[in-house]
Amino acid sequence: MIEVKNAVKNFDDIVAVNDVSVDIREGSIFGLVGTNGAGKSTLLRMLCGILKADKGSISVDGEDVFENPSIKENIYYISDDQYYIKNYTPKDIMKYTASFYPNFDKERYNYLINTFGLPYIRKINNFSKGMKKQLSVILGVCANTKYILCDETFDGLDPVMRQAVKSLFANDMQKRGLVPVIASHNLRELEDICDRVGLLYKGGILFARDLDDMKLNMHKVQCVLPEGFDLAKLRELLDVVTLETRGKLITFTARGSREETEQKIASFEPVFYELIPLTLEEIFISETGVRGYDIGKIIL
């Protein structure tokens, strides 16, 4: 488990990470979402021991990560800003990476390079942005680390490649207990992959919660109510977050237990109603009641 307690990181007079506390547990995919400049990249660099916290602590499996080579062997970091040694090919970078990660799986690496259709002896500097991202993911999963930290990993990948990367993560989670941490400025990229999501805002964590727990206490409802029904009564009896009407069809989200929500809707004697699955976007809209936070910036 990765434990962050009251971590602070400053760059001169800029507060990049401000009193962050969060736990990243095994057996799940943690999504870190926030606008550009929110502190995501800085926090990831602190998690993998590149940067040291000015205050607070960061531990991985109970040990401090900074300047700890044995712990770093279990962490692979994929930077948003891809850098490869000049004139290196995928064959060269495999040998270089394997020198840092003793459990590197060279056989699997060769298989995935071929499967993804990447040229094995072509210079990486001539690769497209998407090809470089694919290569970084292949290196990451083949390093056989326990943790893989991904900074905007899906940016630059087409939909087919995004699904392929998600499948790789899911496979390694099941087979060897991989723990992916995925940072993104795009909420929808995390929609179908993360179990737990943290929202970073101005260097601080607004919240970090399990998506299933959030869904249990918030529901989306579509209904048709009796003619002349006063919507003010709906807002009075239910903790309505959003509400939209299209003709007779009313769609709203409300906080509360499923049982309580259904009981109150039934008391309205609706012509029709159903509870439908929530999107990650709708959950975040309900949770970001912070003055000045523009949820639209992470819904692209």
Q: What DSSP line would sit under 73-98, residue for residue?
A: TTEEEE-SS----TT--HHHHHHHHH
**What is the enclosing helix (H) or strand (E) of 135?**
helix 129-142
Q: So what's the pLDDT on residue 290?
A: 46
Question: Quick one: pLDDT band at residue 291, thresholds 50, 70, 90?
Answer: very low
Q: Which amino acid is at 49?
A: G
Please state, in angstroms and rounded to a whole number, the distance separating the CA atoms of residues 169 and 167. Answer: 5
74 contacts: CB under 8 Å, gap ≥ 6:
60, 61, 145, 146, 147
Residue 136 has pLDDT above 60, yes or no: yes
Residue 66 has pLDDT above 50, yes or no: yes
What is the second-level CATH architecture of the domain 2-212? 3-Layer(aba) Sandwich (3.40)
pTM score, whole prediction: 0.81
pLDDT in tens, 240-276: 888 899 999 999 988 888 899 999 999 999 999 999 8
Mean of the pLDDT values across residues 140-166? 90
Asked if domains 2-212 and 217-298 share a fold, the reply is no
Chain centroid offset of residue 31 CA: 2
**Helix, strand, coil shares, percent, the chain, to 5:** 35, 30, 35
Say if CB 218 and CB 241 are below 8 A apart. Answer: yes
Got the DSSP string for 146-167?
SEEEEESTTTT--HHHHHHHHH
Write down the CATH number for the domain with range 217-298.
3.30.70.260
Backbone angles phi and psi of 257, in degrees to 5: -70, 160
pLDDT in tens, 88-109: 999 999 999 999 999 999 999 9
Q: So what's the pLDDT on residue 96?
A: 96
Residue 199 has pLDDT above 60, yes or no: yes
The ranges assigned to domains in the chain are 2-212, 217-298
Identify which of 88, 54, 48 has the alpha carbon closest to the alpha carbon of residue 72: 48
